Structure 1
C-alpha cells in the first residue's frame, strides 16, 4: 500500500433535525450545546461515558475541543458546548496545522484518541477547526506506561493518515513511515481476526 493509494471513506453519518442516533448513543445538538446520552442497555455504555467525561474534564481550556457543562452519572448523560461548524469533508494545509496543534494539546492533557474519522473534525465559516467525540480514548495515568506510549503513537498515526489522505505533500518522512507501519499493522490485525 502506498501513501497515494489511501481511499477516502465517505461520510455517511449525519445529524438530522438536531438529532444523531446510533445503537450506542443519542445526541441532541442545539445551537450552543450538545447533550449526549450513552444508551444504558449497552454493556460498554458506562465505560465509554466515564472515558468521555474524564476526557472533557482534562481537556478544559484546550482550544478546539468541547467544554463540559455538566454530567448525570445515573443517566449516562453529558452536556457540553457545541463547537461551531459542520463536519469536515476535506482538510486544507491550514486545517492540518490546526489539527496537529489540537492533537498535541490533547496528548499534553493526557487524552489519546483511538481513532480520528474526518466526521469528528468540525470547521466553522471562518475556517476554525475543532475536534469532537472523546469516548474512545486512552487516558494517561503515568507518562512512562507502555499503554500510554502506544496510545500516543496511535493518535499520531491517525493524524498522519489524515495528512496522507488530504495533504500528502505535507507528510514528513517519519509520518510516511508511520502511515505505512499503521496500514501494515491494521492489515495484520484484520487477517488475525479473520482466522
Structure 2
C-alpha cells in the first residue's frame, strides 16, 4: 500500500482495499479461506495496541468481513538499507513477543517514510502462538526468521554471519526442491485429469 494524500482503491480477487487520508478499509471478498484470513488479521490487529510500526484497529465488521485500521506513513521501498533491515528485525521480534509469526514477508508489505522509519502491513497469513513450546509455533517462527534472512541476503548480505549465510543457502536449496516437486505433482495431476 503506497502513501498518498489522495484517496485510492485497489482490488484483487481476494480483497477490496480503500486507502484514505487517515485510515485504510480492507474488505475480504468471498473466498474459500476468507473468513479464516479475516479472523487472523483481526486477531493480529488486536494485539498491536502498544506497537507503533504496524496498523492499529479502528473498527471491525464481522458480517461484512471488513476491517478499518490506521493508515501508516511511507511508501513501498524498492531497496532496504542496513538501518531498514535492523528495524525489520526489531518489528519481527515484537511480533514474536505478541504471539504472531508471518508465513511470508514480501517487500510490498513494508513501508518506509521520509525519515527512513520502517513499517509493516498485512497480517492475514500468520500463525498465532497457542503456547511457547508448540511445535507449530516454533516452525512458524523459523519460517518468519528465514524470510528476514532472505531479505538481508538480497539487500545487505554483509550483515549475515557465516552460519546465517549457510541457513540462507539451505533455504534456497529447499525452496528449489519444493518448487520442482510441486511442478512435477501439478504435471502428474494434469495428466490424470486429461486421461479422464
1:14 CA drift (Å): 6.9
TM-score (norm 1): 0.89
Q: What is the CA RMSD across the aligned residues, in angstroms? A: 1.6
Aligned residue runs from structure 1 range 144-159, under 5 A: 144-159=133-148
Deviations 1:127-186 (A, max 9, x none): 111000000111101111111001001110000100000111111223212211211221
Change (3 A) 1:55 1:141: same
Distance 1:174 1:77 in 2: 43
Match of 1:30 in 2: 20
Match of 2:175 in 1: 186
Mean Cα displacement is larger for which, 15-24 or 128-137?
A: 15-24
Provide the secondary structure at the position in 2 that maps to 1:130: strand
Match of 2:43 in 1: 54
- Alignment: residue pair count: 182
Q: Which gives a bigger RCO, structure 1 or 2 (Cα 8 Å, sep 6+)?
A: 1
Distance 2:47 2:15 in 1: 22
Gaps of 5+ in 1: 1-12
Match of 2:188 in 1: none
Provide the secondary structure at the position in 2 that maps to 1:80: strand
1:39 CA drift (Å): 0.2
Gaps of 5+ in 2: 185-196
> Do residues 94 (structure 1) and 55 (structure 2) align?
no
Provide the secondary structure at the position in 2 that maps to 1:185: helix
Deviations 1:94-147 (A, max 9, x none): 111111100110011111001111111100111111000000111101111111
